[in-house]
Structure 1
Amino acid sequence: MNIVTGSTTALITPFKNGKLDEQTYADLIKRQIKNGINAVCPVGTTGESATLTYEEDKRCMEIAVEVCRGTDTKVLAGAGSNSTAEAIEAAKTAQKCGVDAIFSVAPYYVKPSQEGLYQHYKSIAEAVPELPFMLYNVPGRTVVDITADTVIRLFDDVKNIYGIKEATGSLERSVELLSRRPELKVFSGDDAIDYPILANGGAGITSVTANLLPDLKSELVRLALSGDYKGSKAINDKLFPINKALFLESNPIMIKAAMYIAGLIKTLEYRLPLVAPSAQNMKILEEVMKNYEIKGL
């Protein structure tokens, strides 16, 4: 099983007149490849997956696979739902599109038990047994936490579950997981704490900030995984102000605004109920961005 690790970017989904802007999407992925990102992640939280149609989901994955074909950059696609049956269909669609691996968000709104989470993930992963599979734990959005015990049970019992995107914001959780299963691939799902998770044995990151600064994010990971912790920490520290600014409002509101300010997307469009940031937060973002060199398309 050829797993995905390293620096990965939770791609935004650009819209034009309310529809997926396919050309800009492809160009943004090419920019990620050019700047050393190991994998792109279409249709995750940052990609506004909750408000994309099934056809848009599929098209985003198809474009990512097409653009990354023949390069060293892989495709780690989102395939999650609060319905297990829908998540299985999403995983099968991702597999048909030719993605390299999938990550699946914990089922939101329904608030399942830990046994429910176990059965949910086991069912999805076993429906696509040849596809490397990552759990995605983000309780701030889903209102359910995949506990360490459940993660380890899934990792031990299901062959293709190889890792987890940890977006709890808890360093303790990552320490616990890796102390109990060092071979588990733990990804940082919180930009501000990429370095400490990597320094503790994490295998990669899934970054929002990498949409804007893929060169710095890919280098941060490369240095950490090669043992240059001082160099990795220096980049993590440098990125702290922009990481903070990009979460002044719910993701992906600020990162899409930043991409617009930088000229990387031509139109600033969201799917309701998301709307553009406040004028105050836009001003803060513009000021912070002046401290960084943002490479173009």
Structure 2
Amino acid sequence: MIPNLILPSTSFGHVITAMVTPFGVDGRLNIPLAMQLAEYLVTHGSDSLIICGTTGESPTLTLREQHQLFKAVRQAVGNQVNLLVGTGSNATAETIERTKEAAHLGADGALLVVPYYNKPPQDGLEAHFRAIAKEVPSLPLMLYNIPSRTGCSLAPETVGRLMDLTNIVSFKAASSSIEEISQLREACGERLAIYSGDDELTLPLLIVGAIGVVSVASHLAGRQINSMIKYFMAGDNTAALSIHEKLIPLFKGLFIVTNPIPVKAALELSGWFVGGPRLPLLSANKYIRESLSPILVTLRHS
């Protein structure tokens, strides 16, 4: 039996949903639906929400839209859960301004993706995150490593050097590497709250020291994912593994093509008409929808 893990005091809970951004048929923000979806997620297993992240299509949202979305979701969920905002970009000055604005609006944290496209070396990445943390010292920050999208990876030893900054409190690991978690714990100790950035790897990463997941699948199976993590934390590995195995088809189905194309289709098939993604992403085709339908039927009857 694996001993119970203690959550760092700076964590955002076990299940953080990276929320999709609903659009209407005209392509504009659907604010009322965003509020309804946020309320639903809070009552169905989410401990925190991230808006304007990758799943929320942040590259296609204007700053005005991001502010509108934050204010509406905050109004909908109040202080029931932590509300984080994706403020990262590949320009340090822009990221600082966006993060300052998030703090001003009342966000509980900011998600900072590794700068994309310009591929900075490790000392550049350290300087980038250090500058942001020092400019917005009151806001808890989650670093986000996803080399498949950014073109470079934030090394654990670089994160370790950032641990003198008390507002860097958590890390979203989306490199598909189990070894990364062990290296982060060695470099950073237990103060850093590490989250899986891949639903399918949540249970394996819990075993090596992660405390939860920044999830896409929690739009559809939030309660089950939350239960899986709590079973694991309580030492009931059999129950946790059973839930993990039942959810594997959903985890895989939601990433058969670029996120958030499949999750938006899955939500529509489940009665949430959140609209398709904005260009350059396209709505799910017939094949994707036909692949998701039986998975969702099984999920509803499980």
TM-score range, shorter chain: over 0.9
For the 8 Å contact 2:178–2:208, the answer to whether it is kept is no
Q: Give 1:286 shift.
A: 1.1
What residue number does 2:247 align with?
A: 239
Could you report, residue by residue, the CA deviation over 1:109-132 in whole angstroms, capped at 9, with x for unpaired residues?
Answer: 111111110011111111110111
Query: 1:202-241 counterparts in 2 under 5 A?
Result: 202-241=210-249
Cα RMSD of the aligned pairs, angstroms, is 1.6
Structure 1: give runs of 5+ residues left out of the alignment.
none
What residue number does 1:190 align with?
A: 198
Q: Give 1:232 shift.
A: 1.9
Q: Give 1:217 shift.
A: 1.8
Could you report, residue by residue, the CA deviation over 1:237-261 in whole angstroms, capped at 9, with x for unpaired residues?
Answer: 1111011011011000000000011
Q: Give 1:159 shift.
A: 1.6
What residue number does 2:15 align with?
A: 7
What residue number does 1:100 align with?
A: 108
Query: 1:1-297 counterparts in 2 under 5 A?
Result: 3-16=11-24, 17-71=26-80, 73-155=81-163, 157-183=164-190, 184-265=192-273, 268-293=275-300
For the 8 Å contact 2:261–2:276, the answer to whether it is kept is no
Q: Give 1:226 shift.
A: 3.0
Could you report, residue by residue, the CA deviation over 1:117-169 in whole angstroms, capped at 9, with x for unpaired residues?
Answer: 001111111111011111000000000100111111112x2121012100001
For the 8 Å contact 2:44–2:222, the answer to whether it is kept is yes
Cα distance change of structure 1 residues 225 and 96 upon mapping to structure 2, 3 Å threshold: farther
Alignment partners' CA distance in 1, 2:270 and 2:16: 21
Q: Secondary structure at the match of 2:90?
A: coil
Alignment partners' CA distance in 1, 2:238 and 2:73: 33
Amino acid at match of 1:20: L
For the 8 Å contact 2:122–2:155, the answer to whether it is kept is yes
Q: Give 1:225 shift.
A: 2.8
Q: Secondary structure at the match of 1:291?
A: helix
Alignment partners' CA distance in 2, 1:126 and 1:275: 39
Over 4 Å off, 4+ runs: none
Q: Give 1:181 shift.
A: 3.0
Q: Give 1:294 shift.
A: 8.3
For the 8 Å contact 2:142–2:171, the answer to whether it is kept is yes
Calculate the TM-score normalised by the size of structure 2: 0.92
| Aligned residue pair count | 292
Q: Give 1:3 shift.
A: 4.1
Alignment partners' CA distance in 1, 2:197 and 2:40: 21
What residue number does 2:3 align with?
A: none
Alignment partners' CA distance in 1, 2:109 and 2:251: 26
Q: Which moved more, 1:34-43 or 1:186-195?
A: 34-43
Could you report, residue by residue, the CA deviation over 1:19-70 in whole angstroms, capped at 9, with x for unpaired residues?
Answer: 1100110101101111131101111000000111011111222222222214
Q: Secondary structure at the match of 2:298?
A: coil
Q: Secondary structure at the match of 1:269?
A: coil
Structure 2: give runs of 5+ residues left out of the alignment.
1-8
Amino acid at match of 2:276: E
Q: Secondary structure at the match of 2:162?
A: helix
Amino acid at match of 1:6: H
Alignment partners' CA distance in 1, 2:85 and 2:226: 18
Alignment partners' CA distance in 2, 1:229 and 1:60: 38
